[in-house]
Each structure stands twice: as C-alpha cells, then as structure tokens.
Amino acid sequence: MTAIAPAPAPSFASVVLDASAGPGHRVLDLTLRDARSAHALAASCLEVYRTADDPRFLDEAPVLAHDLPLTVRRLLNSARRDGGARVTVIRGNVVDQAALGATPGHWSEADTEASRVYGTLLVLYAALLGDVTGRATRQAGRPVTDVLPGPYAEDALSPYRPDWVGLFALRDGGGMPAAVAHVAVHRADVAVPTGAVCFVDNRDVAHGRDSLPAESGVGDRWLKRVDVLRDLRRTPAG
C-alpha cells in the first residue's frame, strides 16, 4: 500500500489587537511565506488581466481572492462581519523597492508597470470585504482617482460613500521613520509602514492622513488606494 503523506500544516501568522491605537484595531503580521504567496497570486492575475481595473478581473476578484493565504482570509472575513473592526492592517507584504523605481513626480505618471502588481494585490484583499468601486494613487499630496468602467464606475457626485477605504503603502518617503502614513482614527494615529495594507471602516470612523513632505522625485511616499462597498446592489441606480 502506498503511504499518503499528510497535507502540510497551514501557515499561521499573528493577529493582534493594537491596543496603542485604540479598540477595534486589528493587525496581521504576514509570514514571509504568506507574503510571497499573496504576491505571487497578484502577479499571476496580472498576467491574465493586465490591469487591476479590468472589468473581468473585478468580476473574478472575489473568487480569485480565496487563493490568498488562510490568515488573510480569516482576518478580512472577521473585519467584514464585525462592526467593531474599525481599522484592519496587514503588514509585511512584499514590495521590491529596486524594481518599483522612483516615485512618479506627478499622479498622471503613477500607473507604472512595476506598481501594477501592488494595485492588483490591493484589489484582491479588498474583494474579501466587498465590491471595489474606485482606485486612486497619491503622490506629493495630490490624489487621482482611476474611475472604473461599467457598473463599478463612481464619480465625485456619487450619492453614496465607500464602506471601507483601503491604503497600500509602497514607500516610506525617503527614510521617514517607519510610517509611510498615519491614519488619524478617533484621535489615534495608526501607522501604515512600507508594505502594509490598511482598511478603515468608513461608515462610522472619522479619519484623515498626515501631510506629505516636499517632493524629492525619487523616494517620496507612495500610496495606492481603493474604495469598497459592502454590497454594490444596494447603491442607488445610475
């Protein structure tokens, strides 16, 4: 009889409540194995769909996202179900700074080939919370929203606001101490270091972001953003 080897044990990472930032702040520290697995999934999606705002990818993302590491799925499912989860942070994502290149000097140049895998990964994470309705990037304090096509489109006059706002910190701003961004939530600062993804519950949490330093043209802070709705069908038609 041929012996059947047992399945490998799942890779578990630590999920903690960040008491320093206040109640309802959850933090997941990815293992290197899980970080590489998540990055590889995003890269494989990008090979098929080419961009994170491809309507086919947006349709498939909630299914594809179930190939993310178990710890990530557990964390984001908990955040989706738990009204007390004000801030959810996933730290330790793989960001290849050398391949990423210089931070674009203007938002119109921000959709670089090297950065698309991170936007794709952010959409995969967001798809475990709900429907992605908009993407944006921030350089030198100026945001630009990449309006998504078809039923996912959103404009400045939209009568609804996202249930979650997600940020992916690609760069720490040229040597600024560990925090790429501080999201002010209920008068508490939540650090979002390089390689971290942060989802803020936008329904009952007031939040903001600290100002950006003068642009250096090389290592400025670089953030990717998504807006997420719990249920797109419940939004006003048109």
The predicted-structure confidence for 167-213, as pLDDT tens digits, reads as follows 999 986 654 433 334 454 555 567 788 999 999 887 765 444 444 44
Give the 3-state secondary structure of residue 45. helix
**What is the model's pLDDT at position 146?**
34
**What is the model's pLDDT at position 133?**
81
Pick the closest to residue 28 from 70, 62, 66 (CA basis).
70
The residue ranges of every structural domain in the chain are: 14-234
**What is the model's pLDDT at position 234?**
62
**What is the model's pLDDT at position 38?**
98
CA distance 36 to 13: 13
- H/E segment holding residue 144: strand 142-147
Give residue for tokens 């309802």.
Answer: 24
CATH 3.40.1030.10 fits 14-234, yes or no: no
**What is the model's pLDDT at position 218?**
57
Residue 56 scores a pLDDT above 90: yes
Higher pLDDT, 229 or 41: 41
CA distance 210 to 17: 23
Give the 3-state secondary structure of residue 31. coil
Higher pLDDT, 24 or 137: 24
**What is the model's pLDDT at position 122?**
96
Confidence of residue 61 (pLDDT cuts 50, 70, 90): very high
**What is the model's pLDDT at position 94?**
95
CA distance 112 to 98: 14
**What is the model's pLDDT at position 217?**
52
Pick the closest to residue 115 from 133, 138, 132 (CA basis).
138
Pick the closest to residue 151 from 126, 165, 127, 134 (CA basis).
134
How many other C-beta atoms are found inside a 10 Å radius of the C-beta of residue 146? 17
Residue 229 scores a pLDDT above 80: yes
C-alpha 77 chain-centroid distance: 15
How are beta strands 25-29 and 87-91 bridged, if at all?
parallel
How many other C-beta atoms are found inside a 10 Å radius of the C-beta of residue 225? 21
- Please work out, in degrees rounded to the nearest 5, the angle formed at the alpha carbon of residue 102 by the alpha carbons of 28 and 121: 35
Higher pLDDT, 79 or 148: 79
User: Could you tell me if 17 and 25 are in contact, meaning their C-beta atoms sit under 8 angstroms apart?
Assistant: yes
Q: For the segment 86-139, what is each residue's pLDDT rounded down to a tens digit?
A: 889 999 999 999 998 888 877 677 788 899 999 999 999 999 999 888 655 544
